[in-house]
Amino acid sequence: MDHAADAMRTDLMTITRHVLNEQSRFPEARGDLTILLNNIVLGCKFVCSSVSKAGLAKLIGLAGETNVQGEEQKKLDVLSNHVFINALVSSGRTNVLVSEENEEAIFVESSKRGRYCVVFDPLDGSSNIDCGVSIGTIFGIYMLKEGASGTVEDVLQPGTAMLAAGYCMYGSSCTLVLSTGAGVNGFTLDPSLGEFILTHPNIKIPKKGKIYSVNEGNAKHWDGPTTKYVENAKFPKDGSSPKSLRYIGSMVADVHRTLLYGGIFMYPGDKKSPKGKLRVLYEVFPMSFLVEQAGGQSFTGKQRALELVPAHIHDRSPIFLGSSDDVEEIKALYAAESA
C-alpha cells in the first residue's frame, strides 16, 4: 500500500455515503433504511467509546453496584442495550425490537413507529470484557410485511427474509461490517474524523480455509459428524496439512477472522445442549446472512441456517459457518450419518 498517497486521500467513502449510494439503486426508496442505519452507526460509536474507556471509567462491574459518586453503575452490556434501544426508537423507523438483553420483544410507541424490525445483541461476548478481548454488537433488520401491525410474529421470520445485517467489532480498531443484500463491506472508525471509512470493500470469504474454530472443551459431548470433522482437521487422511485451531469465544471476533481468512466457525449442538448455545435471531441469522453474502455457507447440522423459522425470539440453534468447501465437508458428514 502507498501510505503517503493513502494519507493524502481526500475522497473518503464514509459509511453514510456508501449507504446512500446503495439506496440510489432503488428509486422508490424513501431513505428510511439509511436513517435507521445512521442511528445504528451512532449506537456503535457510542458503545465503542464506552468499551475503550471501560477500565478508566470503572464501567466494568455488576449492574446495581454503586460507584464512588454513589451513582448506580451500569454494566457495559446493560449500558449498550440502553444506547441501542434509544438510537433505534429515536430513528422513528422501527416497530418491533428484539434484544438479547430483554426477555420480551419491545414494541415502539405509535408516535415513533416505522416499518422496520431490528433484532440485536448489543454487546456479544461480554464475558470477555474484563480481559480486553474483542467484543461486538450484532444486528439484523427486517421490514414489516404489507398490512402487518407489529407483533412478535413479525420477527419470527426465517433469516432469508432479513433485509440487512451487520456487526461492529470493538477491538484494536472499531470495525463495522455491513450487508444490505448486495455483498459485504467493512468500515473502520477513524477516531479523528468520528466516521466509519470503507476499508474492506466487497469482502469475499476464501473458498477453503486453513482454520477451524470451536470450543474443544465440549468435545466429550459432541455428536459423530462434529467429532469426525475435527479429527479430520487435525489428522487429514488425504495428506494435506492439518488445520490450525483459533477460538476466541467471542462470536464477532471469531466470525470476523473467518470472513477475512476463511475456515469454519462452529458452535454445534451436543448431548448436553442439543440446540447449541447461539441465538437464532441475533447471532445465527445476521452472521449467516453476512457469510452467505460473502460467498460462504451456513448450516445447522440439518438445513441451511437462514431457512430456519424461529418459534420464540430467544431460540437457539447449532451453527457451522464459513468457507464454502469447509461447510460442504461437515454437510457431507451429517448426510452420511443420516443415510
Q: Which residues bind ligand AFP (CB under 6 A)?
A: 124-128, 215, 249-251, 254, 277-278
Minimum CB distance to ligand AFP, residue 77 (Å): 8
Rank residues 22 and 254 by Cβ distance to ligand AFP and give the closer one: 254
Minimum CB distance to ligand AFP, residue 259 (Å): 14
Minimum CB distance to ligand AFP, residue 271 (Å): 15
Rank residues 89 and 233 by Cβ distance to ligand AFP and give the closer one: 233
User: For the chain, what is the total number of helices (H) and then of strands (E)?
Assistant: 9, 13
Count other C-beta atoms under 10 Å from residue 190's C-beta. 15
Q: Which amino acid is at 23?
A: Q
Rank residues 107 and 247 by Cβ distance to ligand AFP and give the closer one: 247
Cell of 168: 461492529
Rank residues 150 and 286 by Cβ distance to ligand AFP and give the closer one: 286
Give phi and psi for 53, each to the nearest 5: -100, 5
Contact in structure between 312 and 152 (CB atoms under 8 Å): no
Minimum CB distance to ligand AFP, residue 247 (Å): 7
Distances (CA, A) of 256 to 27, 176, 200, 266, 298: 32, 10, 12, 13, 14
Task: Name the DSSP class of 282.
Answer: I
Helix, coil or strand: residue 279: strand
> Which of 220, 223, 267, 234 shows the shortest CA–CA distance to 248?
267
> Which of 153, 35, 143 shows the shortest CA–CA distance to 105?
153
Minimum CB distance to ligand AFP, residue 87 (Å): 20
Rank residues 151 and 215 by Cβ distance to ligand AFP and give the closer one: 215
Task: Name the DSSP class of 99.
Answer: E
Task: Name the DSSP class of 172.
Answer: S
Rank residues 122 and 150 by Cβ distance to ligand AFP and give the closer one: 122
Minimum CB distance to ligand AFP, residue 182 (Å): 27
